[in-house]
Each structure stands twice: as C-alpha cells, then as structure tokens.
C-alpha cells in the first residue's frame, strides 16, 4: 500500500501540439479511492496509463510511495490494472489467469493456489476456477479481472472503466461491490470512468479533467456543493445544474424579480457577465409572480419527485450548456404530487443558501 503522486505529469502524443495530459498534480492518500472522471478525450485514461507505465511521461514525475516510478517499466511498479475489456488470457483457465503474475514472479505453486482460492472465494468465483474465460458471462469475466488484480496484492489498483461493458443493473451492483471490496482491502485505488454517477458513488475523492487539465480534485460532497468552475458545475450532478446567464441589475445580477447578491467588485458593474448556478432541487417553484418566469415544456414524473423542464420567457436570460454548450432547458425538482401543468407559466427562484455564482468569461466560481 502506498500513496500516489502526480507531479506536473505531462503527456504529449507524438504529432500533437497540445498535451493530452497537461501538468497534472494529484496526491492520492494511502488507501484512498480516487476517481478520475471527465468527458471522453479528457486525458483520464492517459493519466492512468502513465501511472501504470504503459504511457510515457514526457514531463514531470510520478511517485508511488517514496519511489520515483516515472521511468520504471510497468512490471517494476507493483501496480495491478483492471482493463475495460478485462484483457483475460483466452488460453488460460480462470485460476491460471489469476495466478499468472505470481507464476511469473516465481512464487511457490501451493502458495499461488492458496491465494487464488482466497481471491476466488471473495469474488464468488470458486466454481469457475477451471473454466476458460470464453465460458464465462460478462460479469464473471469482470470479477476474474478483479481477482487477477487482488491476487497480486499490489501497492496500487488501477481500474480503467471496468464496468462499462456490463449491463445497467449489473453495473450498479458491481459498483457497490468494488467500492466495498476496496474499503475492505484498503489498497490505494485509482479508478477511471466517464460516468459522474460512478464517480460520485465510489470515490473518496474525485478528480475531474477536461482537455488534459485538472479542473477540480475534491470529495464528492465538495464537488457537488462548491464546484470550482462552470465546467465542474455542469458535469457533476444529474440532472445537471441550471446555469443561467442573467442580465445585470443596479445592485447585482437579476434573477427575474430577485436580485442575486454579488461581491462588491462585481456588483459595481451591476453584475454584468455572471452566471448563476442553481441545482434543480434548490429551486423554489411558485405560481406567484416571484422570481424568473418559465414556460413549462416537459414534466418528467419519477414517482416521489418530478422534474419540470421549462424555458425562460425573458429572452435576455440564457442557459449555459455546461459541458456541451447546447441550449438547455431550466430544470426544477418539484413534489411529485403537486406538478404544474404543461404549457403553464411558473416562477422560480433559487434558495439563497445553495446558490453558485460564476464569472462568465473565465468560468471561475465567484
């Protein structure tokens, strides 16, 4: 077990001008479960592969514990990786797959057998030890891949989207299993996913990347409650946060008939160029003319709750797309037993204690 440290780690693919991973700085604590998350092409997998030694580090350093592993070959790093497609050896039985690294390391046969059986027991694979991977289901293969990592008892687990080939139900189940297994084994883990729900539910901390640059690295709660910039705000949370570009008023940004208070240096400009962020559950909905007026487009019934999708009637108010920059509806969560009618006019205003304000130009949190 060990800490992991990315120190200004940079990867530039040959022929590219911009780095795929740009001066990444992350400290992973001993035994911590860190999730690297971001949209595709953000450099999260590359970062993981740099840590595994499968990708060259062009600049900066990577440390595992107090060892500088930047230039070590993968086998000398004492890390185990679970691949997206599991990468099981098709010609070996499940037991041989799991014990292969130990066999190469010259571990005694009976010792290998013992450790493989232990891991198989944890993962509920005992009945399948003599089977070939071809004769296993997707979920079983995934567990074998996990077992292969566990058997080695490495310093760090690396997981590259290990759940993306499972069906939705199994994914949710396995998500919990992996998280609890990691807590039990206490092995430092770096986990890559593009799914923010996975990131929120599994990680001790989340590192959100975009275009090779780290946006924010914090606990799921912090990421949710105080996103560092517009991108984080739009990426974390489902449905996404409403990011409303509002017109300026005399003493702050005008959110309909409400005024959003701003720090002094911003309010001097009348709150020009700010984006107000409010999560769907932090929206007060009323039929009284109080706040921002919306036309209700769609109602999504979820039973206990319902989500109202609406468009602001004031054309000066626009919604930021968050991560994909498309026109988005304003989303508000309402009580499932008290839903406004489609096409009706409603008014919304943010609960003042859960308000996020961002600078529109820089995207930074104010």
Partner 1 sequence: MFATSVATITAAGTASKLGTMVLGLAVFAVVFVGILLFASLFKGRVGEKVQAVAFVGPTLLFISIALIYPAILTIRRAFYDGKFFDLNFGSLRSRGKFVGFENFQLLWTTPGLPEVFRNTVFWVVLVPFLATAFGLLYATLIDRARGEAAAKALIFLPMAISMVGATLIWKFVYFYNGDPGSNQTGLLNAIITKLGMDPVDFVGNAPGNTFALIAIMIWIQAGFAMTVLSAAIKAIPDEIIEAAKLDGVSGLKMFRFVTLPSIRSSVIVVLTTIAIATLKAFDIVQASSGGKLGDSVLANEFYNRSFVTQQPGLGAAIAIVIFLLVMPIIVFNVIQFRKDA
**List of residues contacting partner 1 (CB under 8 A):** 52-54, 73-75, 79-81, 83-85, 87-92, 100-101, 104-105, 148, 152
State the nearest-atom distance from the C-beta of 189 to partner 1, in Å. 15
Under a CB-based contact definition with an 8 Å cutoff, are residues 224 and 200 in contact? yes
What dihedral angle (degrees, nearest 10) is formed by the CA atoms of 217, 218, 224, 226?
A: -90
State the nearest-atom distance from the C-beta of 39 to partner 1, in Å. 22
State the nearest-atom distance from the C-beta of 132 to partner 1, in Å. 12
State the nearest-atom distance from the C-beta of 9 to partner 1, in Å. 19
Choose between 116 and 223: whose C-beta lies nearer to partner 1: 116
Q: Render the burial of 198-207: b for 16+ CB within 10 Å, e for the rest.
A: bbbebbbbbb
Choose between 191 and 231: whose C-beta lies nearer to partner 1: 191
Contacts 24+ apart (CB under 8 A), 107-114: none
Choose between 160 and 293: whose C-beta lies nearer to partner 1: 160
State the nearest-atom distance from the C-beta of 195 to partner 1, in Å. 20
Q: How far separated are the first and last CA of the chain, in Å rounded?
A: 39
Pairwise CA distance, residues 253 & 246, whole Å: 6
Choose between 166 and 206: whose C-beta lies nearer to partner 1: 166
Choose between 100 and 128: whose C-beta lies nearer to partner 1: 100
- Name the strands in the sheet holding 258-260, side by side, starting at the edge strand that comes first in the sequence: 248-249, 252-255, 258-260
State the nearest-atom distance from the C-beta of 88 to partner 1, in Å. 8
Percent helix, percent strand, percent coil in the chain, to nearest 5: 30, 30, 40
Residue with tokens 């008014």: 347
Under a CB-based contact definition with an 8 Å cutoff, are residues 265 and 274 in contact? no
Choose between 85 and 121: whose C-beta lies nearer to partner 1: 85
Q: Which phi and psi angles does 233 have, rounded to 5°?
A: -60, -40
């Amino acid at each position: 077990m060990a800490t992991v440290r990315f120190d200004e780690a940079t990867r530039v693919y040959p022929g590219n001008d911009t780095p795929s991973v740009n001066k990444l700085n992350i400290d992973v604590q001993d035994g911590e479960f860190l999730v690297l998350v971001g949209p595709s092409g953000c450099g999260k997998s590359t970062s993981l592969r740099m840590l595994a030694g499968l990708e060259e580090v062009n600049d900066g350093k990577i440390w595992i514990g107090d060892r500088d592993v930047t230039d070590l070959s993968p086998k000398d790093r004492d890390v185990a990786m679970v691949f997206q497609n599991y990468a099981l050896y098709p010609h070996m039985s499940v037991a041989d797959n799991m014990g292969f690294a130990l066999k190469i390391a010259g571990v005694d046969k009976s010792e290998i057998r013992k450790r493989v059986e232990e891991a198989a027991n944890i993962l509920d694979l005992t009945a399948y030890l003599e089977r070939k991977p071809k004769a296993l289901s997707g979920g079983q293969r995934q567990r074998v891949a996990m077992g292969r990592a566990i058997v080695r008892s490495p310093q760090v687990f690396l997981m590259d989207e290990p759940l993306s080939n499972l069906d939705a139900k199994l994914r949710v189940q396995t998500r919990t299993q992996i998280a609890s297994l990691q807590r039990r084994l206490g092995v430092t883990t770096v986990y890559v996913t593009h799914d923010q729900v996975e990131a929120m539910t599994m990680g001790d901390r989340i590192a959100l990347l975009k275009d090779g640059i780290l946006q924010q690295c914090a606990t799921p709660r912090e990421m949710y409650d105080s996103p560092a910039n517009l991108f984080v705000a739009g990426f974390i949370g489902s449905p996404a946060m409403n990011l409303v570009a509002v017109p300026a008023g005399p003493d702050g940004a005008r959110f309909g008939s409400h005024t959003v208070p701003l720090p002094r240096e911003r309010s001097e400009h009348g709150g020009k160029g700010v984006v107000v962020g409010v999560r769907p559950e932090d929206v007060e909905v009323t039929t009284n003319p109080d706040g921002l007026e919306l036309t209700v487009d769609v109602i999504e019934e979820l039973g206990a709750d319902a989500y109202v999708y609406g468009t602001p009637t004031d054309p000066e108010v626009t919604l930021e797309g968050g991560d994909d920059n498309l026109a988005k509806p304003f989303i508000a969560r309402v009580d499932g037993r008290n839903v406004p009618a489609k096409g009706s006019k409603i008014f919304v205003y943010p609960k003042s204690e859960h308000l996020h304000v961002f600078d529109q130009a820089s995207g930074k949190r104010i």
